[in-house]
Amino acid sequence: MSLRVIVVDDEPDRAVLVREALEAEGFTVVGVFPTGAGLMTKVPELQADVIIVDIDSPDRDTLEDMRRVTFEQRRPVVMFAQDGKPETIRAAVEAGVAAYVVDGLKAERVKPVVDVAVARFAQFQGLRTELHKAKSSLAERKLVEKAKGILMQRRQCSEEEAYKLMRKMAMDQKARLVDIANRIIEAADLLG
């Protein structure tokens, strides 16, 4: 399946060459735009899979656009640039750019670089999802532990008895354990 690509390039003549190089490598170029052209609306509208930026040196606004595309639109960004300064590369990586290639875009490097960037982006997204799940699970466990503590104190029962009571309430009310925990904590806060 051909990846749908948006090209961001401020130089129209160079953008034509980039488009031709991408299409020769089997990519489907769905749009070519200069920086600051409202990329956030164009990505979902054109159903782009990847964004390729060909730029001499990314400025703060371009990097912010790339950050939003990466984190809000969840699309990989590949940046071909002339600027090889460590601080520029660091800023691009912090903005979520999946690949930053110095010395501009060369036709023979496009496909392998994009393939690696897409694979790394997918891996990164998987890690973000796992991290989010782990944080949510930890937060839920903390709520359950807090609710158990409240029940243990108020009912003068063991931790195991408090847990069984919460689990029974959850089954009886067809609710998740964390929802019961939240209700217990809210009631305890109301009653003081």
Residue 142 falls inside a structural domain: yes
Q: Which two tokens stand for residue 31?
A: 């749009």
Residues 84 and 13 in one domain: yes
Residues 82 and 145 in one domain: no
Q: Mapped to the 3 state alphabet, what secondary structure does 123-142 carry?
A: HHHHHHHHHHHHHHHHHHHH
Give the residue-averaged pLDDT of 83-89: 89
By the 8 A CB rule, do 65 and 40 touch?
Answer: yes
Residue 87, pLDDT > 70, answer yes
pTM, 2 dp: 0.66
Q: CATH number, domain at 80?
A: 3.40.50.2300
Tell me how far apart the alpha carbons of residues 130 and 10 are, in angstroms, rounded to a whole number.
37
Q: CATH number, domain at 182?
A: 1.10.10.10
Share of the chain above pLDDT 90, in %: 41
Residues 149 and 98 in one domain: no
pLDDT tens, position by position, 41-65: 898 899 999 999 888 888 888 888 8
Residue 54 falls inside a structural domain: yes
The total of structural domains in the chain comes to 2
Residues 9 and 97 in one domain: yes
- Facing residues of 5 across strands? 29, 50
Residues 95 and 17 in one domain: yes
Residues 87 and 139 in one domain: no
By the 8 A CB rule, do 8 and 53 touch?
Answer: yes
Residue 109, pLDDT > 80, answer no
Give the residue-averaged pLDDT of 111-132: 84
Residue 26, pLDDT > 80, answer yes
Domain that holds residue 99: 4-105
Residue 116 falls inside a structural domain: no
Please say which residue of 105, 122, 152 terminates a domain.
105
Residues 97 and 138 in one domain: no
